[in-house]
Structure 1
Amino acid sequence: MNFILAGHGNIAVEMKNSIEMIAGEYPNVRAITFQLGDGIETLKDKYLKIINQSTEQPFIIITDIFSGSPYNAAAILAMQSENIEVISGLSLPLCLALLHLDYSSISLEETFEQLNDMKSDFIKSFKKIAKNIAEEEEL
């Protein structure tokens, strides 16, 4: 599985750097930037440059904001190829989870279902956890 991280400004590049800091280098993870003045065509060209250089398919493109320009450009490409999936909500937990799924046993379509099952693991409230622990200790 190949991954392209994309978002406004340099967020995707920095996300890739953070992934490498935590989990090591992943040659199948690439990042693109979306700078002021770039448009949908520029983004599509950036995606295609990466996709066309790879002999391995499929690709998951992870963007920062649903329906933002990086997402919309990726969605156009996904409509043209069954080997491209687009997921919004770029975050470090999401990326790490995606990198550790067993793609030999799930389809590209099942990837999103697996992520939905894990989404409660991505966002945690310290106060809620502390309250639950305190309530358990009272029992």
Structure 2
Amino acid sequence: MSNGKTANGTTYESTRDSSLPKESGNDSNSVSLEADRLRAEVMQLKTAEADARIQLSVSQNNEKHARQEAMQLRSRLEQMEARYTTMEKLRDVDRNSLSQLEKKYAELMNRKNDVERELMDERKARKED
């Protein structure tokens, strides 16, 4: 039996029967195999961590790109809405102008008809004289 201290200061007792023969060859071989296994596991974990970091970076870049695209689309939508509003106002102005021109045209046609009637009346009056 041997006593020892852990890193945090607590003591522990190891119970190894000293009468058993030491298997130093087997122990060192199994320790070596365990160390190799742990190294391989650490490598796998590091690779998995690196892959996860790459995926995170790609996801962050994709999110950033999506936000930029959304901002551009929002800006484009606002521009198009402003153009639409302007076009509606211009259409209303054109409708009003067209309505006024149609009224003016109708008035001119009435005046023309009146003048033509007067002219015909004057011609008839001259012929009768």
> Could you say which TM-score interval applies, normalised by the shorter chain?
under 0.3
TM-score (norm: length of structure 2): 0.18
Mark the structure with the bigger radius of gyration. 2
